[in-house]
Structure 1
Amino acid sequence: MESTMTGNASGKKKEIHVGLCGAGIGGVFAAIAIARAGAKVTVLEAADHLGEIGAGIQMTPNVARLLRKYGVDKVIGDNLVRFEELNLRRKDGTPVGYTQTSRIEGALDQPWWLVHRHHLHQGLVTVARQHGCNLMIGSRVVEIDYLESNEVTVRTEAGETHVFDLLIGSDGINSVVRRTLFPAVKPRPPTTNCAYRAIVPYEQIRHDPIASTLIQKLTMEVWMSEKAYIISYPISAGTDFNMVLSHHRPHPVSTVEDISMADLRAEYATFDPRIQRIVDMIPNAQRWPLLVTGPLPSWSSPRGNVVLMGDAAHSMTNHMAQGAATSMEDGAFLSVVLREVLAARIALPDAIRLYERERMPKAFRKQQVSFLNGAIWQLPEGEAQRARDRAMEPELRGEPLLRSPNLYGDPATVLEVYGYDAEAHAERALQEWYNGQDWRKDEGTGIEAPVAEKVMNWFLPEKEKFVSKI
């Protein structure tokens, strides 16, 4: 397709008004990043208050770097919890895999945080307001006009009208923006897998002599079983024990369901007595679907004035803790290419095409890895489980592996998923766009920037990097 890239000989800056439909974690983070790039930002949220439902969430190193860069970590403070190790177990508690968290953090030079969704969202909202973002509650979007003009006109249920240069659909699984662009697309559960979410106070666990042996230090624990698993970790400054309890039902689950707590407890009655005792402490829970969206052929409107991000574009299963993280990466990438729009170096439709071209395959890859990790944790009893456990067993002796079914510690997966830098990716993609070549190369040797980064530049100080700008 012919480029509509524009020059900037005069140095004149453009002004653009970006609207976001949805003020969840991804939407508010994108608002911060885009406001920092220089755009005017308005976020329309349907709910009458700002907040997040749910329980714990992992801020893995790929997005911890973004929280640090934008100062969100300082606002959240001690509610960002670091843990010492990951232990993978059979459902009876037998250890089969191990990851020392400090090895991951040291290799990537970023922390791996655990946090309550509410604390994360609260921190993001605070920083968004500090950057001048207009967060409007009670603004349910009911109509979007985008076909007849380069501008987008949005009408809310309350009768208000907003006009934007770009509308971003950050409104999640049930996205009104996605339904407007692609009415035939419907997120679906790929299998009968679904999950409970639960929190139990550490103080309550300490009073149980059996369960309390699990909380002597801050760890992440995974109990793996055929068609079920439990993952647990600390949140809320180490005062709450968060659990995600994965299981299967006779039929696919598409909506949140109320449950019998007796059924939940029976589901895990044969697990390690330590975690089973904590499961018995859960006061109430609901069954949550694991819905996957796409992959879609496009994330945007023909004019590039409406675009999707996050769960609206690529919801995924939760087994790699990358749903919110991938949404935040979308926002970070968008902010870099929109910076170039604001500087009048690239047209808005080209910036959106570049975002789609680069981010769509990344998101699809995450969807696949996430699904497969869930399959690894829920292998059928017998030879499949034994083969998985044999492949991980050297980790228990501290032996480094070149590859492992423990994807939270597998070197290739860690580098690909947790070592990913969305902003650096966007800068490389812009270089390719501007230079009309595959990647920026060292003139003398022909070495491509991504190769230099993967092999050499990751450990060198900035001024010593083989390719000066990657």
Structure 2
Amino acid sequence: MANQHIHVGIIGAGIGGLAAAISFRRAGVDVTILEAADELLEIGAGIQMTPNVSVLLQKWGVADVIGDNLVQIEELNMRRKDGTLVGHTEIPIIERALGRPWWLVHRAHLHQGLAAVATQLGAAIHINSRVVSLEYQEGSEVTLETQKGDTYHFDLCVGADGVNSIVRSTLFPDIKPDAKTTNCAYRAIIPYDLIRQDPIAKELIQKLTMEVWMGHNAYIITYPISGGETFNLVLSHHRPEKVYSTQTNVSIKEMRDVYKEFDPRIKRIVDMITETSRWPLLVTGPLQSWSSPQKNVVLMGDAAHSMVNHMAQGAATSMEDGAFLAKCVGAVTHGKLSLREAINLYELERMPKAFMKQQVSFLNGAIWHLPDGPKQQARDAAMAPSLEGKYLVRSSNLYDDPQTVLDIYGYDVEAHAEQALARFVHGREAVYPGTGIAPYIEDKYMGWFSKCRPNDRYSGAGKL
């Protein structure tokens, strides 16, 4: 099969779209991004770059651009809503086991870093370019038109345009993201300097930690962002009705009332919030396909599989999609497979992974929202050994449950793509001569501890 020149058009310059652009450029694929907004920015507050994607930020050089705005926490504390400690995780232990940092960052800083690297690598980004029509046929280029009347032609169109995706609505007009329950979330940030002035609340910021307060139909998760200068809060709660769009100017009193019986320390910080928005938690799919029949239009990220936020995997899964898809399309440019085969492989491998994370994310929310009673007591008992530093084979705290940590946070999307490509091209896994051991199996069972690793914590951006 001959080498091919591929020009990819990415619709949407959010976190997923920019991550995909970086991956495509690293794979030698030409990229043009069409972004509807009239400036490149990211709304929202904090975001977790868990180890499955922090490693990508390191490889791509994005971590070096973000620099000190990446924050590492010392520990995670799981609490009942009254502040009773029921679980504890030493985050450095997870980082050392996986060989990757666990970072917290403001979405704006992450977005700026991704945009800078994508631009440096040669991705063309066009703002104020809302796509209004998309035409695709077998054996021809995909044609896009923007609201300004500009026309673009691409070999492959990637819909990275979020839950309200124009690309998805074109491919699958009957698919609508759904609020599976009445669960939604407030988001807010508070300066650390303000918290330090409160004699009760300041106890929570003596160290850089992530804290989770679990209550019936409401929880709070907090962590530092912006170089440790800002305290990020996500306040999960249930409403009488389902929420389908972001609501601004919500009642502060109403928000405070939801958490009035929580730990006085976190309640004092909640009472510092002067304005907030209520965010919907919309789920898309699982879809039967992420692509056009011609395999020249494909979805990724929230456009394909939006999920609830309880495992911090929405943006992370989008970034994984982009990295995997770029590996597949990169193989097309080298004549190893056709574009149709590349998209088929991407769907075959990534769709089950995304669906698994949608389910785990939903279940973690259920775990954190349990009412007082037998299930809540069983949850607390299952994570209690961690308070004494005892070894856990399983834990109801999915942030340090060994199985979940390895399946989600220990996942290596680029290695997965290379394995899948090797199976497709050669009909089997690549193995070492003599031993017959596949590299990823060796790394899974031996390489993780035998590789040279630094003794210090991942204190600097881009260090591994």
Secondary structure at 2:227 match in 1: coil
1:427 to 412, 418, 425: 418
1:67 to 52, 57, 74: 57
2:91 to 73, 93, 101: 101
The reply to whether residue 24 of structure 1 matches residue 30 of structure 2 is no
Number of the residue aligned with 1:467:
none
Number of the residue aligned with 1:417:
408
Structure 2 counterparts to residues 288-303 of structure 1, below 5 A: 288-303=279-294
1:361 to 343, 346, 352: 352
Deviation at 1:302, TM superposition (A): 1.1
Secondary structure at 2:361 match in 1: helix
Secondary structure at 2:261 match in 1: coil
Deviation at 1:441, TM superposition (A): 4.8
Paired residues of 1:61 and 1:418 also in contact (CA < 8 A): yes
Number of the residue aligned with 2:325:
334
Deviation at 1:165, TM superposition (A): 0.4
Number of the residue aligned with 1:217:
207
1:233 to 209, 218, 223: 223
The reply to whether residue 285 of structure 1 matches residue 296 of structure 2 is no
C-alpha separation in 2, matches of 1:442 and 1:106: 26
1:387 to 337, 354, 378: 378
Structure 2 counterparts to residues 64-463 of structure 1, below 5 A: 64-258=54-248, 259-437=250-428, 439-441=429-431, 447=437, 450-461=440-451
Number of the residue aligned with 2:461:
none
Q: Deviations over 1:182-218 (max 9, x none)?
A: 0100000111110000001001001000000100010
C-alpha separation in 1, matches of 2:110 and 2:437: 40
Paired residues of 2:33 and 2:123 also in contact (CA < 8 A): yes
Q: Deviations over 1:72-91 (max 9, x none)?
A: 00000000000000000000
Q: Show structure 2 runs of 5+ residues with no match.
A: 453-464
Tell me the TM-score normalised to structure 2 length. 0.95
Q: Deviations over 1:323-370 (max 9, x none)?
A: 000000001111111111111111111011100000000000000111
Deviation at 1:150, TM superposition (A): 2.8
Q: Deviations over 1:1-22 (max 9, x none)?
A: xxxxx3x5xxxx4211110000
Tell me the TM-score normalised to structure 1 length. 0.94
C-alpha separation in 2, matches of 1:118 and 1:283: 21
Letter in 1 for 2:188: A
Letter in 1 for 2:29: A
Paired residues of 2:219 and 2:368 also in contact (CA < 8 A): yes
Paired residues of 1:201 and 1:241 also in contact (CA < 8 A): yes
Q: Deviations over 1:10-46 (max 9, x none)?
A: xxx4211110000000001110110111111100000
C-alpha separation in 1, matches of 2:437 and 2:100: 27
Paired residues of 2:97 and 2:448 also in contact (CA < 8 A): no
Percent of residue pairs identical: 63
Letter in 1 for 2:214: M
Paired residues of 1:18 and 1:164 also in contact (CA < 8 A): yes
Q: Show structure 1 runs of 5+ residues with no match.
A: 1-5, 463-470
Deviation at 1:440, TM superposition (A): 3.7
Deviation at 1:445, TM superposition (A): 6.2
Report the more deviating stretch, 255-264 or 412-421: 255-264
Secondary structure at 1:237 match in 2: helix
C-alpha separation in 1, matches of 2:72 and 2:275: 27
C-alpha separation in 1, matches of 2:61 and 2:246: 34
Paired residues of 1:150 and 1:303 also in contact (CA < 8 A): no
Deviation at 1:443, TM superposition (A): 6.6
Deviation at 1:256, TM superposition (A): 1.2
